[in-house]
Amino acid sequence: MAAKTLTSAWFAALVLAAAAACTPSAQAQKLVHSERSLYREVLVYEEGTVRCMCFTRKCRVGRQTCIDTRAPNRFVMNYTQMMMSALFLNPEPRSILIVGLGGGTLPRALAQLLPEARFDLVEIDPAVVRVARQYFDFAPNVRLNVIEADGRVFVKRAIREGRRYDLIMLDAFDHEYIPEHLLTREFLSEVASLLSSGGVLAANTFSSSRLYDHESTTYAAVFGTFYNLRKDNRVVLAMQTPLPDRETIARRANTFAQAFDAMGIDQRRLVPLFTTQRDWNPSARVLTDQYSPANLLNAKQ
């Protein structure tokens, strides 16, 4: 999902640690699709049986979505597996909002696991939707409702309409990072107001960046304590109500063992990642609509 663009200097500092973990071998990649959209270049590469959507040449800033073409229902990327662990906090969400479609891996898997659930899938770029359908086995239907819109615009509209969601996933990236207007306390407060009682927010971010401390204090300002999962990427799991304890999470994880195994997810590896321990500077300034990543970049060091 595209929005404001950060400068190249900011981009370089932001992705240095994450790019190595997320970038396939450039020499082995085969470009199978390329198109220029209003927001970005949308590319599809294949390396062996792994097919990935990227927003930069040779996937040099990581990958948006990957599937194994021999087993498209099996998860390839660690961050998507961590996002699925939101089900350990609320095992039976009926209404789900996902901001940022990518290849549609998450809604496809959740729709299989949760036959009663209905989805609003918000993606700003029509080209991403087309590529997801053509190359990543994503098929919108009556349960998978795709809305081509800016994520924040949709959230504001959903608030006015009184919508509530049991699970909200934030997975919107442009070719550099999460768009600035989807990082702020104001936006996260808007998202929090859409959560039902017992609803869960799952947000995908980088595990190492110049924004890490600021993102963390911003989530804490809105949600208080949250679960912080880190493996390549970082996934924040937050609720408006008290978080379930680790014993409850482990018990719920076991109920998904068989279904997750079929998707290549080992729930036993996910449970130890759940921690509420702060690994950031609690004095870092909260991100707001007035104090954004651009402010941080331009500040004197």
Catalytic residue among 125, 150, 171, 174: 171
Of the pLDDT bands very low, low, confident and very high (cuts 50, 70, 90), residue 282 is very high
What pLDDT does residue 10 have? 39
Is 239 in the same domain as 258? yes
pTM of the model: 0.89
29, 52, 72 — which closes off a domain? Answer: 72
Question: In CATH, what number is assigned to the domain containing residue 143?
Answer: 3.40.50.150
Structural domain containing residue 51:
8-72
Terminal-to-terminal C-alpha distance of the chain: 30
CB 231 within 8 A of CB 83: no
Is 27 in the same domain as 108? no
Helical ranges in the chain per DSSP H: 8-22, 78-84, 105-113, 126-135, 151-160, 185-192, 212-223, 246-255, 257-262, 267-270, 293-298
pLDDT digits (tens, 9 = 90+) for 130-142: 999 999 999 999 9
* Domains identified in the chain, total number: 2
pLDDT digits (tens, 9 = 90+) for 91-104: 999 999 999 999 99
Length, in residues, of the chain: 301
166 is catalytic: no
Q: How are the residues of the chain apportioned to helix, strand and coil, as percentages rounded to the nearest 5?
A: 35, 25, 40
Residue 231 forms part of a structural domain: yes
Instruction: Tell me the C-alpha distance between 111 and 120, whole Å.
Output: 12
Residue 168 forms part of a structural domain: yes
Distances in Å between the alpha carbon of 163 and those of 27, 37, 77, 169, 250? 47, 30, 31, 15, 30
72, 91, 115 — which closes off a domain? Answer: 72
